[in-house]
Amino acid sequence: MTGDHSGEWTEDEWNEAIRQYNIKRSGEIRELEDRWIFNPLRNRAVVQVNWLDDRIELICDSADAIVVAYDSELNPAPVEGSPIDRRAIDSWDRIEFERTISNEILSAVAFKTGSLRVVLRNRWHLHAAAPNSASPVAIRSGGHIIWDGAGLRDDIAYTVRRAT
């Protein structure tokens, strides 16, 4: 990745190379009073779904990952005047869920309450639970957690721009 490395890569070297690549990649995390907007995830596509025992990992084409629990919810874009029809992931057929979630990310917003909302180009919205539930929720980049329900990590590879 850096062009100056020869030989076999260790896992730590590979993760560091990915972190450095992400630093150079356009985008920053914008911090508002009540949320963080993850611009580096914007226009990235979910390309793989890993079904683990206690969580689901949504792997993006950038090697970033969004981690949510089975009780996280998915709904089509709300229509004014209509009730929001959210369905927990564990109520979906896995193939149907993967087909729906495998789309381009328009917006990824982590709230300081611990919740996460991801809006997809196909107009579906993913909502992950706040940390007071038993649900894991996180955003990973280069193998490192950069945000979890407790907040943004200090040692992340992205620039964080705070709103003034």
pLDDT digits 0-9 by tens, 104-156: 999 999 999 999 999 999 999 999 976 655 668 999 998 899 999 999 998 88
Q: What percentage of the chain reaches a pLDDT higher than 90?
A: 62
Residue 158's pLDDT band (boundaries 50, 70, 90)?
Answer: confident
Q: What is the C-alpha to C-alpha distance for residues 132 and 119, in angstroms, rounded to an integer?
A: 23
Distances 26 to 1, 19, 87, 151 between C-alpha atoms, Å: 16, 13, 34, 22
Would you state the structure tokens that stand for residue 72, as one six-digit string?
A: 């996280």
- The pTM (predicted TM-score) of the whole model is 0.80
